[in-house]
Structure 1
């Protein structure tokens, strides 16, 4: 801006000041509304709610006739319901407290009666200040959001124990009725839309059902909550899918096929809608607002309800509840996927072994620490045959240690020859060197399935045991003044005990095994790694592993007393005499051929060098 422009602006402001001070006309009386003021009213109507509050505090009130004109322009034949006083109704059963609003006839808030958040407050699963659902219809080429309109509520009892609340929008010539049925027990709310003569006011295009939902923070560990929250959905063709659970970036997906249900899943709870027929298609998304520590993730769905279903009767169910497997599996096909149970074969182990045992013990015990301890004993008994076979294999290897040491001394420096001699000895005495590993591998699915079960079991949430105040999260006995990378800023005592017991068990086994060299040192690295990995995991999991280590240690001591290694050695020597002229097995022959081929390749490589 040059000097002339600046001087011109100053003069203009000075003239305006003089004019409004001495020559401005008298303002009109407050009760009169001139036609010149109507554009101002339109501007106010189009402003945001916060802007409207600021503007209307200094402008004359809009007349009823002007407001009616604005409503007619915006809502057409629905303008009769555009004004009204907002009110709420509350209904409840044994599990839920539902608050519904006449603004759109929608669910505003859902409280789970038997759960608390990490601060001890009632657990608000759906928060009216952060969650809103909309029904958007096409009226004369305009998109009308029914959530902006005022419905008339009516509460009745059906069958004595089911509460029905209806929200009616009607002008005599057409009507829309939204009904909610809440039974005396359970986490499901039946939802239906009934209508009359909608063809006279609506274009026959699909209706948008939108639900924007910010998950309230319910757990102390905010980061863990964000890692375990996402949008999940199930298609009519039987395909289940979800947005990336552990992603804190913006994620979205367009669903081009018929959609059966969509859920907003968090670690221990789920809010979902399940269509009786199907949504035609949809769009889902999720993101994180890192500036808001009261919310976990912002989730959104935009579903299309076929117009024929909307006009002739649309039905659905809401689910507002915990991620309990026995409950989820009865809600809808694949709905139990809202509970993380692992990958591959692990969900099968959890569904048909761990969860049935857990729920059976719940009938007799109320202390979940005791239940976990009993599960350890039950699992160890189930695995006892495999554990016995593994110990027998190790006992045979220990019995043959003198002969193996002789072979190593005889072929010192020539690993190929030593391995060939060892394989020949194993064949003669009847030892399968991998037989000890197979039982261990068969136990791994159970160990890994528990890795998913305990951190996600809602039954353990806020259940205390010993010094752990909540078995679903880590037990912190010491808060560190700084954060250690990959470890955290706290000390979990159960994780520490698990690590020490694993090291003790490893040391005990190393005294009697044939493992030598670097492998003997590396076997201690795994417990140290788990000390860092599991420090922030559920204390129920680390408590299980600690007790399991101690039971396994005692089991090992018992097996050592039962197994007579002298008898085993004598039996192996008899086998050696019997099998001295026995032909090599196909597996043995292939193994030796592979060793020879490897040896020849190494020799050629050395010659080239």
Structure 2
């Protein structure tokens, strides 16, 4: 071996040693069990928790591999850790008018069914709310962060106290600390007692308050979704004794902050409401409502966000209550002070007529008559009978005015260019014959509150919901004999995409009544004569989408009024009326003006002078 070969072998040996040192083959892979253990140690987040623990790490958190899941849970939830795991079970309470469903996770009401009512598809029971539409959170601030008490797991116990059913949810947190929900349901009741207790946790909850956040997407319950939205809002009762409400007809999002202590809140729809009554009033909170414009299953998106003092959750605090049910006077009036205001019955005078006259009569009739169309007819006859003296007096007054038409026409021809003089002579004539020109209007004005009372009562009467009569399938919404889906400019906007037969009959009967009434009065001249026949046509457009029960009421009322005029005419002798007026004219020829007439003439003179002064300018 020469020198060059020796150097070559040495270099080759050195290269082999370097190769085996740096590029040796990897050892065979470990068994699957060993691989899994290694992965668990390297990534504690991937451990599937057993029933005694839950994984709570968030991405990016650096935790020691030696820290077990129990330690991690304690770090995240602290004293609330024992209630962060459990089994979600459904429980229920039921009486003869509704069924409530609860979840052991959260211990809250998840679903409400009203057994006696149908939804807009005429299917029973009516689902007032469910998990998809309603969610309540009870948020607290702690040293571990914000915690939603609705995410805790509770154990449940169901029992009864006499006829009242009790369902209690309890979350034991150790060392005498606990959270519980206690619900009570009596027979035939839409009220659900709710006692919410938080015990031994004052030092754990920052700010001394619990924030109740109730998101309620109000479900579609009625056929006419557009009309329903105009009746859907959030109401709340101030302890000073008045109800506040968000604008129901506004298409903009409505938000209001409590200006003073509040006793209850209510998510009100046309015929049903979901309410919560606080045993101890709350002072801090906001409510909001927003149109669900393109959602055909939801009417409005509503929310109530309320801060409740921690003292209201003590074991000695009173019980709150829910109300899940119909907007019906007999059910609302005893729920809480002012809760009956969820049934809107009009302005004060109109409301009193409804509350103390119309509703009691209506409730009496429905005890014996099941057909609500017949009830409406009887109600019309009762009201017309009560108002007959006023109607008769009004008719006699108008007949006297008609008898004076020749004299009035003569004055108009004589003083037509001098309005002040003509009005003065007219008042002199009225005084001489003993006729008060306002006496025909006063009886009509006295009847107006009843007209307005029915206008408010029938659209809000849940008793007529899904009740049929003749061709109307539902007296609580419009009756449609013809409908179309195509949007017709102006027609669809101002009249609708349907034709209500009761509204047409109401319009025709109004025109008939107007004509019959004009035969008993002095004929109107000029635009007023046309206007009295044009107004019913305007109401035909306005009321086409109103409840069939209302337009049917007006139709029957017009027919009865027409009959009243026909009967009264048989007892009124125009010749005798003329003779009485002539006799009064002779008696009162030299009679001084009354104080009322003097004031009226002075007012007319002042008005005429103002017109002349404006004309000169």
State the match for 2:437 in structure 1: 433
Per-residue CA deviations over 1:248-271 (Å, capped at 9, x if unaligned) read 221111114322111111110011
The correspondence for 1:584, drawn from 561, 582, 593, is 593
Q: Which runs of 5+ in 2 are unaligned?
A: 1-28, 49-54, 60-64
For the 8 Å contact 2:77–2:144, the answer to whether it is kept is no
Tell me the TM-score normalised to structure 2 length: 0.87
For the 8 Å contact 1:138–1:205, the answer to whether it is kept is no
For the 8 Å contact 2:427–2:597, the answer to whether it is kept is yes
Correspondences of 1:93-108 after superposition (within 5 Å): 93-108=95-110
Q: Say whether 1:570 aligns with 2:579.
A: yes
Query: Which of 482-491 and 468-477 deviates more?
Result: 482-491
State the match for 1:397 in structure 2: 401
State the match for 2:549 in structure 1: 540
Bigger Rg, which one: 2
State the match for 2:148 in structure 1: 145
Q: Say whether 1:237 aligns with 2:240.
A: yes
With over 3 angstroms needed to count, the CA separation of the structure-2 counterparts of 1:476 and 1:71, relative to structure 1, is farther
State the match for 1:318 in structure 2: 322
State the match for 1:114 in structure 2: 116
The correspondence for 1:76, drawn from 52, 75, 78, is 78
State the match for 1:169 in structure 2: 171
With over 3 angstroms needed to count, the CA separation of the structure-2 counterparts of 1:155 and 1:33, relative to structure 1, is farther
Per-residue CA deviations over 1:385-413 (Å, capped at 9, x if unaligned) read 11111001011111112222222233344
With over 3 angstroms needed to count, the CA separation of the structure-2 counterparts of 1:32 and 1:554, relative to structure 1, is farther
Per-residue CA deviations over 1:530-580 (Å, capped at 9, x if unaligned) read 101100001000000000000000001111111111111111111100111
Correspondences of 1:57-456 after superposition (within 5 Å): 68-121=70-123, 122-140=125-143, 142-159=145-162, 161-173=163-175, 174-199=177-202, 201-203=204-206, 205-314=208-317, 315-456=319-460
With over 3 angstroms needed to count, the CA separation of the structure-2 counterparts of 1:566 and 1:67, relative to structure 1, is farther
1-side partners of 2:592 and 2:99: how far apart? Answer: 76
Per-residue CA deviations over 1:565-606 (Å, capped at 9, x if unaligned) read 111111111110011111111222233334344445555666
Query: Which of 286-295 and 87-96 deviates more?
Result: 286-295
State the match for 2:512 in structure 1: 504
Query: Which of 420-429 and 69-78 deviates more?
Result: 69-78
1-side partners of 2:520 and 2:259: how far apart? Answer: 62
2-side partners of 1:523 and 1:585: how far apart? Answer: 33
Q: Say whether 1:487 aligns with 2:489.
A: no
With over 3 angstroms needed to count, the CA separation of the structure-2 counterparts of 1:100 and 1:513, relative to structure 1, is same
Query: Which of 292-301 and 495-504 deviates more?
Result: 292-301
For the 8 Å contact 1:226–1:248, the answer to whether it is kept is no
Q: Say whether 1:37 aligns with 2:43.
A: yes
2-side partners of 1:379 and 1:162: how far apart? Answer: 42
Per-residue CA deviations over 1:282-302 (Å, capped at 9, x if unaligned) read 221111232321111111112
With over 3 angstroms needed to count, the CA separation of the structure-2 counterparts of 1:604 and 1:153, relative to structure 1, is closer
Tell me the TM-score normalised to structure 1 length: 0.88
Q: Say whether 1:473 aligns with 2:477.
A: yes
Q: Which runs of 5+ in 1 are unaligned?
A: 1-24, 53-62
